[in-house]
């Protein structure tokens, strides 16, 4: 992973090693002090102290392939979706440890967003998980899962056409 100082064009680009084969997603705390890095195939997540660009920790997750992440608006938790195990882990930002797991999200959960008021999370369910050209996904629908954030409970799942990857929320 590279850190590019866009505000200082003459400053050197820093490279952080040891973060696995690829970094599928990043999530920054609202105060900008910590950056959470999904480890993808490595089944890990890492935490970077942004004022010093220091890697604080790299930890294993009890799931498979952490991918999409979102920080709660109050900055207390990072919700991390695990694509291959169909669950998500909640990391407390004070300790950078997994404090809860939400199971049975559905098949191929991928990306996540949390509403501005912190009450709902929305997670995409991919219709497929493969690199390269998209296969015919007509027979296998994607979906969106709605979660009650304070209760940490799935509310509903909507089946949708196509293969959703990104997601945004509008109040």
CATH of the domain spanning 2-160, picked from 1.10.8.290, 2.130.10.10, 2.20.25.90, 3.20.20.70: 2.130.10.10
Give the pLDDT confidence score for residue 40 in this predicted structure: 83
Give the pLDDT confidence score for residue 135 in this predicted structure: 53
Task: Judge whether 35 and 45 are in contact, CB under 8 Å.
Answer: no
Task: Judge whether 87 and 63 are in contact, CB under 8 Å.
Answer: yes
Give the pLDDT confidence score for residue 20 in this predicted structure: 64
Q: Where are the domains of the chain?
A: 2-160
Taking only Cα atoms into account, the Rg of the chain, rounded to an integer number of angstroms, comes to 16
Per-residue pLDDT of the chain (171 residues; tens, 9 = 90+): 777 777 777 877 777 777 766 777 899 999 999 999 998 888 999 999 999 989 999 999 888 988 999 999 999 999 999 989 999 999 999 999 999 999 999 888 999 999 999 999 999 998 865 555 555 545 567 899 999 999 999 999 999 888 887 888 776
């Amino acid at each position: 992973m590279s850190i590019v100082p866009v505000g200082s064009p003459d400053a050197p680009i820093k490279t952080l090693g040891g973060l696995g084969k690829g970094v599928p997603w990043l999530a920054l705390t609202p105060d900008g002090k910590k950056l959470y890095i999904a480890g993808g195939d490595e089944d890990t997540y890492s935490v970077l102290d942004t004022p010093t660009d220091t890697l604080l920790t790299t930890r294993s997750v009890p799931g498979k392939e952490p991918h999409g992440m979102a920080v709660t608006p109050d900055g207390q938790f990072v919700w991390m979706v695990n694509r291959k195990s169909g669950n998500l882990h909640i990391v407390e930002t004070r300790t950078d440890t997994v404090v809860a797991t939400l199971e049975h999200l559905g098949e191929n959960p991928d990306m996540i967003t949390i509403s501005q008021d912190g009450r709902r999370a929305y997670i995409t369910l991919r219709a497929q998980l493969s690199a390269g050209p998209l296969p015919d996904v007509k027979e296998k629908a994607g979906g969106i899962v709605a979660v009650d954030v304070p209760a940490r409970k799935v509310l509903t799942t909507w089946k949708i056409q196509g293969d959703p990857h990104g997601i945004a929320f509008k109040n």
